[in-house]
Chains A and B, each alone.
Chain A
Amino acid sequence: EIVLTQSPATLSLSPGERATLSCRASQSVSSYLAWYQQKPGQAPRLLIYDASNRATGIPARFSGSGSGTDFTLTISSLEPEDSAIYYCQQRSNWPPKYTFGQGTKLEIK
């Protein structure tokens, strides 16, 4: 089973700062990686699909990069509403199985 490890576990930054969240896979997942944002009491929201494509309606300050085993979610200029837990997700090629990282909690000071 492919394991996703996210770092850091918690990130505390101020509005306007840049956030860099990491997701590392235990083996190559090609570009089969997505990023989600989850706020308390809400369902996850898709931010990035296929490693680097922004989902519909996602602000341009969110960007994804990487391939293989190392991936990054960057939030270029933090807004107060970006406070949330962020998860990465991968899909193994065959048979298709999906795993999530343990999450990074982003706090806006």
Chain B
Amino acid sequence: EVQLVESGGGLVQPGGSLRLSCAASGFTFSWYDMHWVRQATGKGLEWVSAIASAGDSYYPGSVKGRFIISRENAKDSLYLQMNSLRAGDTAVYYCARARTGRIGFDIWGHGTMVTVSS
């Protein structure tokens, strides 16, 4: 079964750091671009970061310089290092898969909750 499972969410103080993980199974992880998308409670979807199958990474302005996406193909794993966290980063974080050159994230994890609060 093709699956993505996120972990690592939790409560963190403003200014703190957190590392999210996403474990992939059921497909050849190294072939795909991978993304993180977040959703604050009751709000819409916000793209957070992308890493291409070749390893290049991309970010929106809202997280650039604070978040770092990485992948470890040997472990079929995706990561998101989040630094200098703010209250506005509070959300459910999803990892998602995309085929290179295609617009559309075809597989999503169940999400992990990140709460930034003192």
Contacts and interface: CB of A to CB of B under 8 A. Distances in A.
Are both chains from one complex? yes
Interface of A: 1, 31-34, 36, 38, 43-46, 48-50, 55-56, 87, 89-91, 95-103
B110 interface: yes
Contacts of B44: 87, 100-103
18 contacts: A1-B61, A32-B103, A38-B45, A45-B108, A46-B106, A48-B104, A49-B102, A55-B106, A56-B106, A87-B44, A89-B104, A91-B103, A96-B58, A98-B47, A100-B44, A100-B45, A103-B44, A103-B45
Nearest to A103: B44
Those 6 A-B pairs whose CB atoms lie nearest each other, nearest first: A49-B104, A43-B108, A34-B104, A98-B47, A100-B45, A32-B103
Interface in B25-75: 35, 37, 44-47, 50, 58, 60-61
Interface residues of B, number: 20
Contact of B58 (A44, A95, A100): A95
Contacts, number: 63
Dominant SS among interface residues on chain B: strand
A97 B105 contact: no
B109 interface: yes
Contact of A34 (B58, B61, B105, B111): B105
Interface string B79-118: 0000000000000001000000011111011110000000
Contacts of A1: 61
A5 B94 CA distance: 23
Nearest to A97: B60
B102 A50 contact: yes
A24 to B, nearest CB: 16
